[in-house]
Structure 1
Amino acid sequence: MPVPVIMPKFEMAQESGKVLRWLKQEGDAVAKGEAILEVETDKVAMEVEAPASGTLVGIRVGPGEVVPIGQPIAFILLPGEVWTAAPTPSPAPSPGTPRATPLAERLAQAHGVDLAAVLGTGPGGRVTKADVEMYLARQRMEDAPKGAVRAVPAARRLARELGVDLREVKGTGPGGRIQSADVLRAAEAIPRAAEAEALPRPALRRRVPLTGMRRAIAERMLRSVREAPQFTVSVDVEMGRALAMVEDLSAWAEREEGVRVTLTALLIRACAWALRRHPSLNATLEGEEILEWEEVNIGVAVAVPEGLVVPVVPGADRKGLIEIARALEEKATRAREGRLRPEDLQGGTFTLSNLGMYGVDRFTAILNPPQAAILAVGRVAKRPVVEEGDRVEVRSMATFTLTADHRIVDGVQAARFLDDLRMALERPGILLG
């Protein structure tokens, strides 16, 4: 039978994907594992690989179309098979052929399912485990209370926030399930008396739908400020020796290793060193438990045209500066080109946001849930500093602001972390040990 190419799920909260372009066309030969199309999620663009070797047929969606996850978008015709646009029923099993696979029989027996009522899609009409699971899913839908609304969790949350009655929303997901996009469309259609009675507004330049990455960021940040009691602690750090170290190492690394060592790479190394000393900040909250992680995986906020992504440098505490710089350069490039892979965004335990290159002196970052803390770094600038004996000297200074989840971290823990981070940057030779 032809193998379906389904809209894959790359992220935990993903509901759908948009087809960007087909890399292979109708009738092209493809090999298993070969990239056949590009798909865009709320965060990144990904390549979808062929699930089998054969001929690409039955392409159902074109560029720009949004498809719910799990829905077939094309098929791979296996060698020796003939493609028909409409699927044909499998022939009845020949005498002596088992009606179902052993796995299907065990699953049916466990749930009290009569295999005679299950449509078989396997060779010769044989009932497979997937057929029994599909039958059970249909039964659950039919047995659901009358009037029950089928919607993904994200759509339910969005409906509560926007005041949308899910019973009035038409779902476009698999089996009519309501997606977040359906809720947004329903919200736009609700008459707003306040708007009708409002005073004349300025001329509108353009209307930008809150969709895709911007919607994902909005939902994530709203969840962050709503659920986590956040507090901030700031410290000024003298950066002269750190800048000199970056300058010396970068000149050598570019010549010998072909990679440019940046201040952000040094900040990642310093944060990893400090997090090893303060594991309470390298943590997340899960239910009634605080999980402190053995790995120090630092995410770095990177601006892209559509918004913001946070690629992760895994095992930053075990990497040298050049290794961190190379990983950071590769992931930042992929982020800006829209080529991030799922593993580039997963597993972060702490986040660094550096806006110094944009001339920002200081700022406060919002937590990246479910992480315990995020560090905001401003620009390095010449400032007057009062030394002992009231002597004023001009030094290269930067302001570091830590935002932490008070459910996980206390003020003293945050302060001690920042104190060690300042020590590591003002005496960067410590990081070479």
Structure 2
Amino acid sequence: MPTEILMPALSPTMEEGTLAKWLVKEGDTVSSGDLLAEIETDKATMEFEAVDEGVIGKILVAEGTEGVKVNQPIAVLLEEGESADDIGETAAPNAEAKPEAKDEGAEADDSAGEKAGKAPVPREAQPGPVDGAAGKSDTRAPAAPKDAEGQRIFASPLARRIAKDKGLDLTTIEGSGPKGRIVKADVLGAAESGAAKAQAPAKTEAPAQPQGGKPAMAPAGLSSDAVLKMYADREFTEVKLDGMRKTIAARLTEAKQTIPHFYLRRDIRIDALLKFRAELNRQLEGRGVKLSVNDFIIKACALALQSVPKANAVWAGDRVLELKPSDVAVAVAIEGGLFTPVLKDAESKSLSKLSSEMKDLAARARDRKLAPHEYQGGSFAVSNLGMFGIDNFDAVINPPHGAILAVGAGVKKPVVDADGAVSVATVMSVTLSVDHRVIDGALGAELLQAIVENLETPMVMLA
């Protein structure tokens, strides 16, 4: 029978993507390894290869379609001796791709299985939900719930199933999907933080308010319709959100809502660092190497994580993972968003090696050519806005990292020396944002002190 080609998961966290471009057309013969399409994830555009050989019998998802779910059929492959007549009727492949057109389309992935007898045989025998919950692919999601006013609460079928299994009340969960729709990540986040109330039998009256008359959760932000009405008489340009911007919005909202941030601030005198850097760059000029201040900061953080190993850690839901190597992520601004490529084993690499590797990662990040393993992972991040003239700022932790260092510009300031004399020094302000679940105050202070010492005495980093 004809075989469905499914939307691939091009990274461990990918749940949906944009089918940017088809590289084949109906009737084309393909072999294993041939390029079929270009898929845009939230971070990059990647090429999708054929696994089997055959003829492209039917393209189910047009190029340019956004929000195509992982494991959704996107095309049908015909084997030898088969024709387009063998395809028959195929379930709507992208019912959730455009929820704004019809909210009821969110139910399509539950009902698609009813047409299995008419659809082509999928590549996997019984693909489960995206989160890999084995044995639950035939379990229907509960009906869409309603709030106290009888209005439907929009949630994906997978989110409803997870909420039902975990006994969570969807009325208390804030959605991060399109138009506030509740998705899998929202339910899992609520389960982890314990923010959602256990489900209770439906009642006609509004749910009880906690003591003091305040709602159980902070109210959701204004809806898009409400904001549009507010500015209906003003001229504006509406900017469509791409996958990257949507992911950044969802992850930063999750980070600020679920991570107990606290902040540690220090001023660092970097005159010795600037002098040392200038000398090294003169010596390395013949090799075409030019070290930046950021290269020294990355190295300083990597070595500090080795000297304070308890702080080289990430939050893993119900436990903390203490890493052995220093894998440092670095924020790189690109058009429409940012990447955080990870410099792995940074503690063992020379400054020139870190510099060349960072330049390569940053260049490919701006072209959105990074592979998922190059921007996922790490325990610590650096965000440097000093080159933009920012004196100091507070950065948001990128989960599951334990901390992130926000770096400001080096500015000449009057300082008081140890003997009480006033002099002028180049001072760089830094702020360490810390996840209190992973790193306590004293441990965070110890880590920041180690970073300061490395930067104020840079020759030590070469010892």
| TM-score for both structures, normalised by structure 1 | 0.74
Q: Deviations over 1:285-327 (max 9, x none)?
A: 2233222112221111111111122111111112121221122
What's 2:343 paired with? 313
What's 2:274 paired with? 243
Q: Deviations over 1:219-248 (max 9, x none)?
A: 211221212221111111121232233334
Q: From 314, 331, 350, give the equivalent of 2:361.
A: 331
What's 1:410 paired with? 440
What's 2:205 paired with? none
Deviation at 1:422, TM superposition (A): 1.3
What's 2:75 paired with? 74
Matched, 1:225 2:256: yes
Q: In the aligned structure 1, how far is the partner of 2:449 from the partner of 2:144?
A: 58
Give the counterpart letter for 1:283 in structure 2: A
Q: In the aligned structure 2, how far is the partner of 1:131 from the partner of 1:365?
A: 43
Q: 1:140–1:414: structure 2 CA closer, same or farther, 3 Å change rule? A: closer
Q: 1:247–1:82: structure 2 CA closer, same or farther, 3 Å change rule? A: farther
Q: In the aligned structure 1, how far is the partner of 2:378 from the partner of 2:176?
A: 33
What's 1:104 paired with? none
Alignment of 1:100-139 (within 5 A): 130=125, 139=138
Deviation at 1:254, TM superposition (A): 5.6
Q: In the aligned structure 2, how far is the partner of 1:163 from the partner of 1:215?
A: 9
Matched, 1:206 2:228: no
Give the counterpart letter for 1:222 in structure 2: T
Q: 1:131–1:138: structure 2 CA closer, same or farther, 3 Å change rule? A: closer
Say which SS state the counterpart of residue 125 (structure 2) adopts.
helix
Q: In the aligned structure 1, how far is the partner of 2:22 from the partner of 2:289?
A: 33
Alignment of 1:161-310 (within 5 A): 161=174, 192=226, 203-253=234-284, 255-256=286-287, 258-310=288-340
Deviation at 1:349, TM superposition (A): 0.9
Give the counterpart letter for 1:140 in structure 2: T
Q: Is the 8 A contact 2:88 2:118 kept in 1?
A: no
Say which SS state the counterpart of residue 84 (structure 2) adopts.
coil
What's 1:183 paired with? none
Q: In the aligned structure 1, how far is the partner of 2:54 from the partner of 2:238?
A: 45
What's 2:139 paired with? 140
Say which SS state the counterpart of residue 174 (structure 2) adopts.
helix
Q: Is the 8 A contact 1:120 1:131 kept in 2?
A: no
Q: In the aligned structure 2, how far is the partner of 1:206 from the partner of 1:338?
A: 25
Q: 1:238–1:137: structure 2 CA closer, same or farther, 3 Å change rule? A: closer
Q: In the aligned structure 2, how far is the partner of 1:86 from the partner of 1:388?
A: 85
Range with bigger deviation, 342-351 or 13-22: 13-22
Give the counterpart letter for 1:161 in structure 2: E
Q: Is the 8 A contact 2:17 2:243 kept in 1?
A: no
Q: 1:237–1:136: structure 2 CA closer, same or farther, 3 Å change rule? A: closer
Q: From 352, 375, 380, give the equivalent of 2:405.
A: 375
CA RMSD of aligned residues (A): 4.0
Unpaired runs of 5+ residues, structure 1, are 90-117, 172-186
Q: In the aligned structure 2, how far is the partner of 1:231 from the partner of 1:416?
A: 15
Q: In the aligned structure 2, how far is the partner of 1:34 from the partner of 1:427?
A: 54
Matched, 1:84 2:87: no
Give the counterpart letter for 2:19 in structure 1: V
Q: In the aligned structure 2, how far is the partner of 1:189 from the partner of 1:360?
A: 32
Q: Is the 8 A contact 1:58 1:85 kept in 2?
A: no
What's 1:41 paired with? 41
Deviation at 1:279, TM superposition (A): 1.9
Q: 1:366–1:189: structure 2 CA closer, same or farther, 3 Å change rule? A: closer
Q: 1:349–1:397: structure 2 CA closer, same or farther, 3 Å change rule? A: same
Range with bigger deviation, 283-292 or 304-313: 283-292
Matched, 1:151 2:157: yes
Alignment of 1:16-55 (within 5 A): 16-26=16-26, 30-53=30-53
Q: Is the 8 A contact 2:175 2:181 kept in 1?
A: no
Q: Is the 8 A contact 1:3 1:52 kept in 2?
A: no
Q: Is the 8 A contact 1:311 1:345 kept in 2?
A: yes
Range with bigger deviation, 325-334 or 5-14: 5-14
Q: In the aligned structure 2, how far is the partner of 1:332 from the partner of 1:409?
A: 29
Deviation at 1:277, TM superposition (A): 1.0
Q: 1:428–1:119: structure 2 CA closer, same or farther, 3 Å change rule? A: same
The structure with more radius of gyration: 1
Q: In the aligned structure 2, how far is the partner of 1:289 from the partner of 1:132?
A: 30
Q: Is the 8 A contact 1:43 1:213 kept in 2?
A: yes
Q: In the aligned structure 2, how far is the partner of 1:260 from the partner of 1:4?
A: 51
Q: Is the 8 A contact 1:119 1:131 kept in 2?
A: no
Matched, 1:361 2:366: no
Q: In the aligned structure 2, how far is the partner of 1:372 from the partner of 1:284?
A: 5
Q: 1:190–1:431: structure 2 CA closer, same or farther, 3 Å change rule? A: closer
Q: Deviations over 1:42-90 (max 9, x none)?
A: 2322222222355555333333212221122235556x4554265269x
Give the counterpart letter for 2:254 in structure 1: R
Range with bigger deviation, 346-355 or 208-217: 208-217
Q: 1:431–1:306: structure 2 CA closer, same or farther, 3 Å change rule? A: same
Q: Is the 8 A contact 2:19 2:39 kept in 1?
A: yes
| TM-score for both structures, normalised by structure 2 | 0.70
Q: 1:403–1:27: structure 2 CA closer, same or farther, 3 Å change rule? A: same
Give the counterpart letter for 1:237 in structure 2: I
Q: In the aligned structure 2, how far is the partner of 1:402 from the partner of 1:26?
A: 54
Q: 1:339–1:254: structure 2 CA closer, same or farther, 3 Å change rule? A: farther
Deviation at 1:30, TM superposition (A): 4.8
Q: In the aligned structure 2, how far is the partner of 1:158 from the partner of 1:344?
A: 38
Aligned length: 378
Q: 1:414–1:46: structure 2 CA closer, same or farther, 3 Å change rule? A: same
Q: In the aligned structure 1, how far is the partner of 2:420 from the partner of 2:74?
A: 72
Q: 1:370–1:355: structure 2 CA closer, same or farther, 3 Å change rule? A: same
Deviation at 1:265, TM superposition (A): 1.8
Range with bigger deviation, 34-43 or 293-302: 34-43
What's 2:186 paired with? none
> Sequence identity, in percent?
32
Unpaired runs of 5+ residues, structure 2, are 90-115, 146-154, 164-169, 184-220
Deviation at 1:259, TM superposition (A): 4.8
